[in-house]
Copies of this chain bind each other. A is one copy, B any other.
Amino acid sequence: MEFHFLGTGAGVPSLIRNVSSLAVRFLQEKGTQWLFDCGEATQHQLMRSAISPSRIDRVFITHLHGDHIYGLPGFLGTRSFQGALTPLTIYGPSGIESFIKAALAVSGTSLRYELHIVEVHEELVIDTDFAQVSVLPLKHTIDSFAYRIQENNKPGVLQVEKLKALQIPPGPIYQRLKLGEMVTLEDGRVLNGENFIGPAQQGRVVVIAGDTQPIANMVEFCHEADLLIHEATFRTGNEDSAHEFGHSTIADAAELAKAAQVKQLILTHISSRYSAEEEELQSEAIQAFEQSWVARDLSVYHLDTIQP
């Protein structure tokens, strides 16, 4: 999985951090691309990235503040203008549909592709070909949600070397063994497929959270996630202001990461007041949680081998 940070700022754009947007590319799933939040000028940032509007087939909105949604109408129109014909589904809090429809209607924009809009709530589980996405309400000044991507487990790999050692030549039998079936060979030997399949590959878990102050429910929701992407609008020590405005500090996000035993933490949604303190932010994050990074615009992170 690749994470393309398109906008890592908070509230208003600055010259170094645009407002929120994150694209996820699933390399092992035909390059499927999803978008999380779509602040103004997300389509402009996409022009500078390897992600293409026409390849994105799902957009997840964490909450309806302008810095997370004002890029949606332009993104939708440009996706159509570029010739995309494949359907697009947008998930977001109640109100997202009326906003999108008002913007498209007033501008006389008709899309060439099917647009589905799903308003999310706590019980929603989104099943896709290769993963399940679930939703947790957060605590912000308006409804805000975290999304948890749970990849499906993958069956173990057929242990071909082991079969070759038993002088069993490749052929249709391999397919049946791979499915775990009992197979009788021409020479009378009976093989149990289960014995020739490696361990199942555990699906990875990634949580992408919207704006929020710390809440207890997130510890369970993020439990042992491979990656947590969380806001850190304020630096450590400003917890009072942060929580007053429904936000978190670097320390808040790090504490959650520890309590939930997540493997890696990426901090984003950084206030522009810190634009001269990039190095301090990074070292503050690492001190609070070793496997952490502060995202920058147009950085790409690879899950498994996370490096900025």
Contact = CB atoms under 8 A, between A and B. Distances in A.
Interface of A: 11-15, 18-19, 40-41, 43-44, 47-48, 64-67, 69-71, 73-74, 77-78, 81-82, 95-96, 98-99, 102-103, 106-109, 141-142
A44 B81 CA distance: 22
**Which of A48, A81, A108, A142 has most B Cβ within 10 Å?**
A108
Contact of A70 (B11, B18, B98, B103): B103
A66 B11 contact: no
A176 B102 CA distance: 58
Contacts of A98: 102, 106
A40 B41 CA distance: 6
Contact of A77 (B66, B74, B108): B66
A96 B105 CA distance: 11
A73 B70 contact: yes
Given A64-B106, A65-B107, A70-B70, 17 more contacts: A12-B77, A12-B78, A12-B82, A15-B47, A15-B48, A40-B70, A40-B71, A40-B73, A40-B74, A44-B44, A64-B107, A65-B109, A98-B106, A99-B103, A99-B106, A99-B107, A102-B103
Given A13-B47, A47-B13, A98-B102, A107 B70 contact: yes
B40 A108 contact: no
Contact of A142 (B71, B81, B108, B141): B108
Contacts of A78: 12-13
Contacts of A81: 11-12
A11 B107 CA distance: 12
